[in-house]
Structure 1
Amino acid sequence: MMNGANYLSIEEVISIPKFMETAISDDGRYAAYVKQTADWEENAYVNHVWLYNREAGKSYPLTIGKNESTQPRFSPDSKYLACIGVSGEGENRKKEIYIQTLGDTHAYQASPDCYSIEEFKWSPDSKGIYFKARRLESESLKKRKEMYGEFYYVDKDFEYEALYFLNLETGGKELYDPLPHGKMTPAVEPLTEQMDLQIHSYDISFDCKHIVFSAAPTPRAVDSMDQELYILHRTTKEIDKVDASPLQAGEVLFSPGGTRLCYTCYEKEKAIYNNRTIEIYDLETQRTIRPVQDIDEHIIPVRWTPNGILISWQEKTNFLAGIVSETGKITSLVSKEDMVASAPSITWDQSTFVCVKQTSTTPAEVYINHEPITSRSVAYKGKIQSEKEVVTWRTEDGLEIEGVLSKPVDFADSKSYPLIVAVHGGPAGTSFAVPTTNKYQPIESFIAKGFLVLEPNYRGSTGYGQAFRKANYRYLGLGDYEDVVSGVDSLIEKGYVDAERVGILGWSQGGYISALCATYSTRFKAVSVGAGISNWITYYANTDITHFTRFYLGSDPWTDEEIYRKTSPMTYINNACTPTLIQHGEKDGRVPLPNAFELYRGLKDRGVPAELVLFKEMKHSSHQPGLNRAILKQNLHWFCHYLLDEPFQFV
Structure 2
Amino acid sequence: MPTERLSRFLAASLLSMLAAGASLHAQQRPPISLDEFMSATEVTGARLSPSGEAAVISTSTADWKNNRFNDELWLWTAKSNETVRLTHTGSSTMPRWSPDGKYIAFTSDRHLPGDTDDDSTERVWVLRTDGGEAAPFYTEKLAVHTFQWKPDSSGIYLSVQIPLTKAEESAQKQQWKDVIRWREQDRGDLLMALPLPAEQPPAAVNVDEPENNLPSNARVLLRSSLAITQIAPSPRDHQIAYESGPPSRRMENPADYEIYLTTSEGAGPKRLTDNQAVESGLKWAPEGDRLYFNVRAAAGSLEGKYKDVQGRIYAINLTSKQITRLGADFSGSWEDFSVSPDGTVIAAGLLGTQQQLYRVRERDFEELAGATGSYALPDAAGRNQHLLFLYSTVTQPTQVFLAADPLRPDHARVLTSFNPIFSQRAQPQWQKFRWKADDGSTVEGMLIYPPGALGKKNLRMFTLIHGGPADADGDRFGADWYDWATLAAAKGWLVFRPNYRGSSGYGDDFELQISPHIVSRPGKDILEGVDALVKEGYADPNHLAIGGYSYGGYMTDWLITQTTRFKAAVTGAGAVENTANWGYDDETFDDAWYLGGTPWENPAMYQSEAAIFQINKVTTPTYIVGGNGDNRVSFFEQILLERALQKLNVPHELLLFPGENHPLDKNPWHGYIKVREELKWLDKYAGQ
The TM-score, its normalising length taken from structure 2, stands at 0.86
Aligned partners of 1:519, 1:458: CA distance in 2, in Å?
18
Alpha-carbon deviation of 1:328? 4.5
What SS is found at the alignment partner of 1:143?
helix
Which residue, 41, 44, 55 being the options, matches 2:79? 55
1:307 matched to 2:343? The reply is: yes
Aligned partners of 1:332, 1:413: CA distance in 2, in Å?
31
Aligned partners of 2:53, 2:136: CA distance in 1, in Å?
24
Task: Work out whether residues 7 and 384 of structure 1, in 8 Å CA contact, stay in contact via their aligned partners in 2.
Answer: yes
Structure 1 partner of 2:259: 229
Aligned partners of 2:349, 2:164: CA distance in 1, in Å?
39
Structure 1 partner of 2:191: 163
The CA deviation string for residues 49-98 of structure 1, in whole angstroms up to 9 with x for no partner, is: 1111111112222212x522112211111222222222259962122222
Where does 1:506-545 land on structure 2 (aligned, <5 Å)?
A: 506-545=548-587
Gaps of 5+ in 1: 646-651
Which residue, 271, 274, 290 being the options, matches 2:309? 274
Say which is worse superposed, 79-88 or 200-209, in terms of deviation: 79-88
1:354 matched to 2:382? The reply is: no
Structure 1 partner of 2:135: 108
Alpha-carbon deviation of 1:299? 4.8
Alpha-carbon deviation of 1:520? 2.3
Alpha-carbon deviation of 1:306? 2.9
Alpha-carbon deviation of 1:244? 4.2
- What letter matches 1:510 in structure 2? G
Which residue, 447, 467, 492 being the options, matches 1:405? 447
1:600 matched to 2:642? The reply is: yes
What SS is found at the alignment partner of 2:560?
helix
Task: Work out whether residues 109 and 120 of structure 2, in 8 Å CA contact, stay in contact via their aligned partners in 1.
Answer: yes
Task: Work out whether residues 318 and 339 of structure 1, in 8 Å CA contact, stay in contact via their aligned partners in 2.
Answer: yes
Task: Work out whether residues 261 and 268 of structure 2, in 8 Å CA contact, stay in contact via their aligned partners in 1.
Answer: yes
Task: Work out whether residues 341 and 385 of structure 2, in 8 Å CA contact, stay in contact via their aligned partners in 1.
Answer: no
Alpha-carbon deviation of 1:181? 6.8
What SS is found at the alignment partner of 1:626?
helix
Where does 1:477-488 land on structure 2 (aligned, <5 Å)?
A: 477-488=519-530
Alpha-carbon deviation of 1:509? 0.5
What SS is found at the alignment partner of 2:498?
strand
What SS is found at the alignment partner of 2:222?
coil
Change (3 A) 1:375 1:413: closer
Alpha-carbon deviation of 1:502? 0.4
Structure 1 partner of 2:164: 137
Change (3 A) 1:288 1:447: closer
Say which is worse superposed, 286-295 or 396-405, in terms of deviation: 286-295
- What letter matches 2:267 in structure 1? E
Where does 1:534-573 land on structure 2 (aligned, <5 Å)?
A: 534-573=576-615
Task: Work out whether residues 286 and 343 of structure 2, in 8 Å CA contact, stay in contact via their aligned partners in 1.
Answer: no
Structure 2 partner of 1:285: 320
Structure 1 partner of 2:378: 344
Structure 2 partner of 1:44: 68
What SS is found at the alignment partner of 1:239?
coil
Change (3 A) 1:444 1:259: closer
Gaps of 5+ in 2: 1-22, 206-214, 296-300, 404-411
Aligned partners of 2:369, 2:479: CA distance in 1, in Å?
22
The CA deviation string for residues 505-539 of structure 1, in whole angstroms up to 9 with x for no partner, is: 10011001111122222121111111111111221
Aligned partners of 1:477, 1:504: CA distance in 2, in Å?
15
Give the number of equivalent residue pairs: 633
- What letter matches 2:57 in structure 1? Y
- What letter matches 1:346 in structure 2? A
Aligned partners of 1:578, 1:549: CA distance in 2, in Å?
27
Task: Work out whether residues 229 and 245 of structure 2, in 8 Å CA contact, stay in contact via their aligned partners in 1.
Answer: yes
Say which is worse superposed, 89-98 or 42-51, in terms of deviation: 89-98
1:15 matched to 2:39? The reply is: yes
Q: What percent of counterpart residues are identical?
A: 24
Task: Work out whether residues 406 and 454 of structure 1, in 8 Å CA contact, stay in contact via their aligned partners in 2.
Answer: yes
Change (3 A) 1:441 1:117: closer
- What letter matches 2:605 in structure 1? I
Task: Work out whether residues 221 and 264 of structure 2, in 8 Å CA contact, stay in contact via their aligned partners in 1.
Answer: no
Structure 2 partner of 1:365: 399
- What letter matches 1:231 in structure 2? L
Which residue, 305, 316, 321 being the options, matches 2:352? 316
Task: Work out whether residues 336 and 377 of structure 2, in 8 Å CA contact, stay in contact via their aligned partners in 1.
Answer: no
Structure 2 partner of 1:429: 471
Aligned partners of 1:230, 1:439: CA distance in 2, in Å?
38
Alpha-carbon deviation of 1:39? 0.9
Structure 2 partner of 1:626: 669
Structure 2 partner of 1:649: none
- What letter matches 1:305 in structure 2? P
Task: Work out whether residues 123 and 130 of structure 1, in 8 Å CA contact, stay in contact via their aligned partners in 2.
Answer: yes
Task: Work out whether residues 22 and 354 of structure 1, in 8 Å CA contact, stay in contact via their aligned partners in 2.
Answer: yes
1:257 matched to 2:287? The reply is: yes
Alpha-carbon deviation of 1:562? 1.0
Alpha-carbon deviation of 1:21? 1.9
Aligned partners of 2:130, 2:504: CA distance in 1, in Å?
42
Structure 2 partner of 1:188: 218
Say which is worse superposed, 387-396 or 418-427, in terms of deviation: 387-396
Alpha-carbon deviation of 1:564? 0.9
Change (3 A) 1:90 1:342: farther
Structure 1 partner of 2:17: none
Aligned partners of 2:251, 2:153: CA distance in 1, in Å?
36
Alpha-carbon deviation of 1:30? 1.1
1:77 matched to 2:100? The reply is: yes
What SS is found at the alignment partner of 1:47?
strand
Alpha-carbon deviation of 1:146? 2.7
- What letter matches 2:317 in structure 1? D
Where does 1:79-94 land on structure 2 (aligned, <5 Å)?
A: 79-87=102-110, 92-94=119-121
Alpha-carbon deviation of 1:246? 3.1
The CA deviation string for residues 294-337 of structure 1, in whole angstroms up to 9 with x for no partner, is: 22324544346333234333222222334434x445454562x5
Task: Work out whether residues 445 and 499 of structure 2, in 8 Å CA contact, stay in contact via their aligned partners in 1.
Answer: yes
Aligned partners of 2:546, 2:683: CA distance in 1, in Å?
12
Alpha-carbon deviation of 1:201? 2.7
Aligned partners of 1:331, 1:621: CA distance in 2, in Å?
35
Aligned partners of 2:29, 2:175: CA distance in 1, in Å?
62
Aligned partners of 1:413, 1:253: CA distance in 2, in Å?
46
- What letter matches 1:6 in structure 2? P
The TM-score, its normalising length taken from structure 1, stands at 0.91
1:494 matched to 2:536? The reply is: yes
What SS is found at the alignment partner of 1:191?
strand
Task: Work out whether residues 568 and 621 of structure 2, in 8 Å CA contact, stay in contact via their aligned partners in 1.
Answer: yes
Which residue, 477, 481, 496 being the options, matches 1:439? 481
Which residue, 200, 204, 207 being the options, matches 2:229? 200
Structure 2 partner of 1:393: 435
Aligned partners of 2:294, 2:188: CA distance in 1, in Å?
22
